[in-house]
Amino acid sequence: MKLAVIGTGYVGLVTGTCFSDLGNDVTCIDVNEAKVEGLRQGIIPIYEPGLSELVIRNYEEGRLKFTTAASDVIPDSDVVYIAVGTPQSDSGAADLSAVWKVVEDIAPHLREDALVIVKSTVPVGTNAKVFEMLKKLTGRECHCASNPEFLKEGSAIDDFMYPDRVVCGVRNEFSEEILQTLHAPLLRTGKPILFMSPESSELTKYAANALLATKISFINEIANLSEKVGADINDVRIGMGHDQRIGFQFLFPGLGYGGSCFPKDVRALASLADSLDLQPKIMRAVDEVNVHQRASLVRKIDAYYGGDLAGKKVGIWGLAFKPKTDDVREAPALELLRYLIEKGAEIAVHDPEAMENIQQQFGDKIHTYCKNEMEAIDGADCLAINTEWNEYRTPDFNKLKSKMKAPVIFDGRNLFDLGVVEKNGFTYYSVGRTPVDPRLT
């Protein structure tokens, strides 16, 4: 099939690239000329494992193209995907201005038998509005469907190619048949493709993300309780997770969730409920707990030093909101960096992928951007861990201790065994576990 994918952000680029790898003729469209030219040269604007290789191969083999000229592509396209951003507005609702602009732009060029698919994460009722807009602009009823994405940053290629399920919101058999054909190569393992109304598909996306966010906020609230009562959250988590009704996924304590999806989607769902005169008490609480949890290391460091960090060197491991991405949107590290800058600390940071994004935000307010994790703790008064990159999990503790000014670690991801850090002479604060601190004995 000939596909046009409008938007080359995270969702659009992954979607277009993967569909081209399945043999489709795909053109990705974006208004940003520099981004488009960069993609033609193999410059990928986001970090996602495996994506660069996939883009370059399919581009070189002619199945994947990039352009700013939508009017040249839309008339020949069987399917047009809308995959533009829907950022959070000041009210907490999704900003759909980019979606409406795309609808206006493509309407004059759509074939009568083309299918427009909304891939962007949008509030319930958006697809119906797209349908009505296209009807008004074209003078006919256009085919319009929803196909929400369920991609995790860091494993998006596998999530696309081996989905748990494919959710499609359709109005007629024509749309259903096209979506069935498009996704057939992905469903050979027997995983289902679920057809439902566009409204149900839109709500499914938000509801799924909101429930996963709820699990994260819940386990973090229990972790904070564990610290107060002397329990070990890892034992509690294991005791819970073996209950098949609960499971282990998203049941890891830490610094909360960040990124482009969970914070925005939880707030958008709450905003939708507000607009319908409902009271989204759970969603508001999930967001509140998460915002509080992101500052967990800030509170621990502030308490340990009595708020006096002027001139102290803090080494930071991890800046992205999770491993295998360079995304720092709503990352817990941002809370810590702002605090340390305010307190006049000397800051040295390391992250395998997110350094450039942090540098764009903070510039020389951060003293040292380090080429490896050991450089970041050279002469440091303490180490703070925000992201659970694999390269941080098994350090040489003797080397770590010899390079640091003081053997103090604040770990927001519970990477280390309490007995190991105690044996090696470290003061160690983690999440939901009793601190290892000689001052407390």
Task: Report whether 324 belongs to an annotated binding site.
Answer: no
Q: Over 80: is that where the pLDDT of 441 sits? A: no
Q: Over 80: is that where the pLDDT of 28 sits? A: yes
What confidence tens digit (pLDDT) does each residue in 298-338 have? Answer: 999 999 999 999 999 999 999 999 999 999 999 999 999 99
What confidence tens digit (pLDDT) does each residue in 144-183 have? Answer: 999 999 999 999 999 999 999 999 999 999 999 999 999 9
Cβ distance 72 to 34 under 8 Å?
no
What confidence tens digit (pLDDT) does each residue in 186-239 have? Answer: 998 899 999 999 999 999 999 999 999 999 999 999 999 999 999 999 999 999
Q: Over 90: is that where the pLDDT of 90 sits? A: no
Task: Report whether 399 belongs to an annotated binding site.
Answer: no
pLDDT (0 to 100) of residue 89: 85
Cross-strand partners of 65 = 27
CA distance 6 to 182: 17
pLDDT (0 to 100) of residue 92: 83
Task: Report whether 121 belongs to an annotated binding site.
Answer: yes
CA distance 245 to 255: 25
CA distance 349 to 372: 9
Q: Over 90: is that where the pLDDT of 247 sits? A: yes
The average pLDDT across 345-361 equals 97
What confidence tens digit (pLDDT) does each residue in 1-21 have? Answer: 999 999 999 999 999 999 999
The average pLDDT across 260-267 equals 92
Task: Report whether 152 belongs to an annotated binding site.
Answer: yes
Sheet containing 143-146: order of strands: 64-67, 25-29, 2-6, 79-82, 115-118, 143-146, 166-169, 193-196
Alpha helices in 41-167 (DSSP H): 51-60, 70-73, 97-106, 126-138, 156-161
Cβ distance 409 to 428 under 8 Å?
yes
Q: Is 261 a catalytic residue?
A: yes
Domains in the chain, start-ordered, CATH in brackets?
2-196 (3.40.50.720), 206-292 (1.10.1040.10), 295-440 (3.40.50.720)
Q: What is the mean pLDDT of the chain?
A: 96
Task: Report whether 250 belongs to an annotated binding site.
Answer: yes
CA distance 268 to 95: 10
Task: Report whether 252 belongs to an annotated binding site.
Answer: yes
Task: Report whether 329 belongs to an annotated binding site.
Answer: yes
The two tokens of residue 181 are 């054909």
The single residue of 28, 142, 261, 382 carrying the catalytic annotation is 261
What confidence tens digit (pLDDT) does each residue in 357-383 have? Answer: 999 999 999 999 999 999 999 999 999
Bridge pairing between strands 368-369 and 346-350:
parallel
* Alpha carbon separation from 366 to 113, 253, 296, 319 (Å, rounded): 55, 28, 21, 12
Q: pTM of the full predicted structure?
A: 0.92
CA distance 423 to 426: 8
Cβ distance 85 to 47 under 8 Å?
no
CA distance 158 to 154: 9
Torsion angle of alpha carbons 227, 232, 235, 237, nearest 10°?
20
Alpha helices in 257-396 (DSSP H): 262-275, 281-294, 296-305, 332-343, 355-362, 373-376
Share of residues in the chain with pLDDT > 90 (%): 96
Task: Report whether 35 belongs to an annotated binding site.
Answer: yes
**End-to-end CA, the chain:** 68
Task: Report whether 427 belongs to an annotated binding site.
Answer: no
